[in-house]
Amino acid sequence: MDSEEVRVNKDAMDVDTAETIAGVVRLLRRASVLAWAAAERAGAGSPRQLLALGVDLDADEARHLVPANTDLDGPMPVVTTRPGC
């Protein structure tokens, strides 16, 4: 991608696209919560803090792509854990 800023016309976005981006925002928010939890377990000065901050900022940036009337509190992704993980 070049250095030009990408602009999204939120007024011309169809409902399916808005819902897809809202789903991405929900996933990024969930990833942010998990990343911050891992950073807290690792302690102050952990490189995980930088990762958590990056994911958190990405979630905020993605939120700005979604039209204002889109429900961002929709279904959360299902989290499953496998034995031995």
Locate 29 and state its tokens.
Answer: 């928010």
Whether the full predicted model's pTM is greater than 0.85, yes or no, is: no
- Rounded CA-CA distance 26/1 in Å is 25
Task: Evaluate the CA torsion angle 66, 18, 1, 7 in order and state its sign.
Answer: negative
Residue 42's Cβ-side half-sphere holds a number of Cα atoms within 13 Å equal to 14
pLDDT tens, residue by residue, 49-84:
999 999 999 999 998 888 887 777 766 555 555 555
- Max alpha carbon distance in the chain (Å)? 46
Q: Report pLDDT for 82.
A: 55
